[in-house]
Chain A
Amino acid sequence: MPDRRLLRIVIAEDVALLREGLVGILEKVGHQIIAAVSDADALLVYTANHQPDVVITDIRMPPTHTDEGLRAAVTIRAQHPDIAIVLLSAYIAEAYVADLLDSTAASTHAGIGYLLKDRVGHVRDFLDSLDRVAAGGTVVDPDVVRHLLARRRNDGPLATLTDREREVLALMAEGYTNPTIAQQLVVSEAAVRKHVGNIFAKLDLDPDSDRRVSAVLTYLRGAS
């Protein structure tokens, strides 16, 4: 796989089977796994001591199996704002996106990702998402974006979007950049820029926002 930036990564996942799977996939492409731990406390220790590029953590972990990973992510964001974070979950819900954006949005340039664990199996897509998060991007699971878009399809400014504009909006919300969106939809970058401009105009969003994923997601959540 060409020109991939090799990352130093700490993994937290309590299920050994999945932890080993993740390590296998990431090491295969040359990423350096600093540590693969099974709970949030160990995650915080290794993160503080080794300053990885990216932290990948499960959300539900011992001891309470609720949101340990999410809380660890918030702590890491507060203490080490430069470390990118990918949250994995076996179950995804829009309400957690709100948690994620609200608790990790402030004063950050490091990327954040929220993905279903199944995505890891789609290895190329997963590695791609990881790269985007490591580069400072926001990546939200397509499942979440799809259902955000599906809600309230009959009224409001969203209804005024063309089908192509909705496709572009979905990819924006998932965290893709204009060149990648152009690639995926097999159109020119200029065309994508035009669609993005239209979308931002129709939804009344600030086109100069350097955090357009958050802006789009916030809009979609608000549209519900």
Chain B
Amino acid sequence: MSRYPDAWSAVRGNPWRFLTSAWPWRSLAYLFSTVPLGIVAFLVLAVVVGLGLLTAVIVVGLVLLASLPLVTTVVAEIERARLRLVLPKPSARETTPLQERLRTWRTLPVSWSEIGYVVLLATVFWLVDAAVLMLAISTPVVLILAPVLVRNETIEVAGWRIDTTAEAWPAAALGLLALPAAAYLLTGLASGQAALTRLLLDPPEARLVAAVTELRRSRAGLVDAFEIERRRIERDLHDGTQQRLVALTMALGQAELELADGPARDLVTKAHTLADDALEDLRATVRGIHPQVLTDHGLAAAIYELADRSPVPADTDLHVDGRLPAPVEAAAHFLVSEALTNIARHSGAQTAQIHAWVTDATLTVTVVDDGHGGADPARGTGLAGLAARVDAIDGTLDITSPPGGPTQVRMTCPIADY
């Protein structure tokens, strides 16, 4: 089975490889197991629908009928598992555990395609499968055994009467030839039925929905990874570069004390000032990445720090009590940091206002300046990166920047779902 991903591609492949593979046998098992399941499904449906309709007048029936989706959910789940016999590739479907779905079945949306499938299984599939199995197995078996059987009775296969040993031997040979034909027939039927089953139980739209869900998850994962990486960079800068620079300033400070007034000491003092500036730059960088104060004290404290150090004076009005989910805090901090950087670089603004508040489990953060406007989110990676970050936490980002200003950057995002 390793050579072909599923039964249908095996049927279309090299005949010898197909016949020696496990696919005919798997198809046989699939079709064989359909029959009892179909019968059970038929009986259960008959009981539930029949009794339900009969007793509907005394309400009990309604309860019975209401349990129909429960029945179809269970059957559909068994069918999905059985499908792997001929379509081993797992579907990309969102799989809520069965127990979970059974526990919450009252609130489950009724899946008409599942009900349709179970009806099909109970009325058509198992009958067709049983008939084809009979034909496909009995024909070659009877033909092959013809030389033995003919001694006791006359055999009739598809209108061909075999009553002498002379006729029986060619029949046996024909039977051997019929075996591969039966294998093709069974596998073909199983593949077709499996394809139809998948279409009904895992409709393409559901697969698209599942793919979108998966994409969202992986994007959130990327943002998380991004955040972890930022923290690691902060940690590396703090533990490495920053500490070495501090050691450098200490050494330069000691040298200043040792040296007498003169050009050498002036140079050391200059070097010391440069090292101080480098440290200040480094701290500013770390502050923009993921400052410790954001981890320790949360969004409001970190925004105060950003505002205090903004080159363009920034007023704050924050109503964010307590801690928010870490991804939300990180995104909001990133937003304010980016917005203040842009204001300082491009806006020509004299002042900025930062507002943040929480209402109805939603965080809103706005940064407004009094600059000349005309900011284009499409230009510059800062704002684009911001949009991706906010999007990943199910938030929305609005940037309005008419020519002449003012520019407003606004994000809202839910804070409940973590």
Interface string of A88-130 (1 = CB under 8 A from B): 0011011110000000000000000000011011111010000
- Assembled-state Cα–Cα distance A91/B242 (Å): 9
Stretch from B112-120, B188-196, B244-252, B361-369 contacting the other chain: B244-252
CB of B253 within 8 Å of the partner chain? yes
Stretch from A4-12, A45-53, A150-158, A197-205 contacting the other chain: A150-158
CB of B319 within 8 Å of the partner chain? no
CB of B256 within 8 Å of the partner chain? yes
CB of A185 within 8 Å of the partner chain? no
B242 pairs with A95, CB closer than 8 A = no
Closest CB of chain B to A40's CB: distance in Å? 16
CB of B275 within 8 Å of the partner chain? yes
| Number of chain B residues whose Cβ lies closer than 8 Å to a Cβ of chain A | 39
CB of B338 within 8 Å of the partner chain? no
CB of A223 within 8 Å of the partner chain? no
- Assembled-state Cα–Cα distance A152/B91 (Å): 59
A95 pairs with B293, CB closer than 8 A = yes
Given A60-B238, A91-B292, A123-B256, does the pair A224, B304 have CB atoms closer than 8 Å?
yes
CB of B291 within 8 Å of the partner chain? yes
CB of B166 within 8 Å of the partner chain? no
A120 pairs with B308, CB closer than 8 A = no
| Number of chain A residues whose Cβ lies closer than 8 Å to a Cβ of chain B | 34
CB of A67 within 8 Å of the partner chain? yes
A21 pairs with B292, CB closer than 8 A = no
Closest CB of chain A to B285's CB: distance in Å? 11
- Assembled-state Cα–Cα distance A55/B136 (Å): 91
Residues of B at the A interface (CB closer than 8 Å) are 235, 238-239, 242-244, 246-254, 256-257, 272, 275-276, 279, 283, 286-287, 291-293, 295-297, 301, 304-305, 307-309, 313, 315-316
A93 pairs with B293, CB closer than 8 A = yes
- Assembled-state Cα–Cα distance A66/B253 (Å): 28
8 Å CB contact of B304 from A22, A24, A66, A94:
A94
B296 pairs with A18, CB closer than 8 A = no
Q: Closest chain B residue to A149 by CB distance? A: B308
Q: Is the interface of A mostly helix, strand, loop or mixed?
A: helix
8 Å CB contact of A90 from B243, B251, B293, B309:
B243
- Assembled-state Cα–Cα distance A18/B244 (Å): 8
Closest CB of chain A to B208's CB: distance in Å? 44
A95 pairs with B304, CB closer than 8 A = yes
Closest CB of chain B to A96's CB: distance in Å? 7
Q: Closest chain B residue to A20 by CB distance? A: B247
- Assembled-state Cα–Cα distance A23/B339 (Å): 43
8 Å CB contact of B305 from A25, A65, A94, A123:
A94
Within 8 A of B (CB), among A44-98: 60, 65-67, 90-91, 93-96
Given A120-B250, A121-B249, A123-B256, does the pair A90, B242 have CB atoms closer than 8 Å?
yes
CB of A147 within 8 Å of the partner chain? yes
Interface string of A148-175 (1 = CB under 8 A from B): 1011111000000000000000000000
Given A118-B249, A118-B279, does the pair A91, B254 have CB atoms closer than 8 Å?
no
Closest CB of chain A to B328's CB: distance in Å? 18
8 Å CB contact of A22 from B238, B250, B276:
B250
8 Å CB contact of A21 from B251, B296, B315, B316:
B251
Q: In the complex, which residues of chain B have a beta carbon less than 8 angstroms from the beta carbon of A126?
A: 253
Q: Closest chain A residue to B245 by CB distance? A: A118
Q: In the complex, which residues of chain B have a beta carbon less than 8 angstroms from the beta carbon of A123?
A: 253-254, 256-257
Q: In the complex, which residues of chain A have a beta carbon less than 8 angstroms from the beta carbon of B251?
A: 21, 121
- Assembled-state Cα–Cα distance A154/B308 (Å): 14
Given A121-B276, A147-B308, does the pair A60, B292 have CB atoms closer than 8 Å?
yes
Q: In the complex, which residues of chain A have a beta carbon less than 8 angstroms from the beta carbon of B248?
A: 121
Given A91-B286, A150-B308, does the pair A18, B297 have CB atoms closer than 8 Å?
no
Given A94-B305, A95-B293, A121-B276, does the pair A15, B249 have CB atoms closer than 8 Å?
no
Known: A28-B254, A95-B297, A123-B253. 19 other contacts (CB 8 A): A15-B247, A18-B246, A21-B254, A25-B254, A28-B257, A66-B295, A66-B296, A67-B296, A91-B242, A93-B305, A94-B304, A95-B301, A118-B276, A120-B253, A121-B246, A121-B253, A122-B249, A126-B253, A147-B309
